[in-house]
Amino acid sequence: MKGSTMDGEIWSVDRIEAGVAVLEDQQRRHLSLPVEQLPEGAREGDCLRRSDKGGFLLDSEETARRKARARDQFRSLTQAE
């Protein structure tokens, strides 16, 4: 099961500050956890999926999809000043 469109299953890394990662789900709920508990190489903007063992896995497909969507949306709304 991909699960990438299921609410609550995918967490986005909103920010990493002072060793604490703040994750956000599709209901905009937050989860703060030590950065050591993130999958290796995870950075701000990455999408994570809960693993069966309770940890998180990088979901690069979902990350790319959401980034492209946000970029397109941003570009469509920009105007020159």
Contact set with another protein (CB under 8 A): 12, 14-15, 17-18, 20, 22, 24-28, 30, 32, 43-47, 62-63, 66-67, 69-71, 73-74, 76-79, 81
User: What b/e sequence results for 32-51 when a residue is b if at least 16 CB atoms lie within 10 Å of its CB, and e otherwise?
Assistant: eeeeeebeeebeeebbbbee
Q: Position of tokens 């209901």? A: 27
Residue closer to another protein, measured from CB, 2 or 67 = 67
**How near is the Cβ of 37 to another protein at its closest, in Å?**
15
**How near is the Cβ of 54 to another protein at its closest, in Å?**
22
Residue closer to another protein, measured from CB, 6 or 53 = 6
**Strand-pair partners of 48:** 11, 58
DSSP state of 24: E
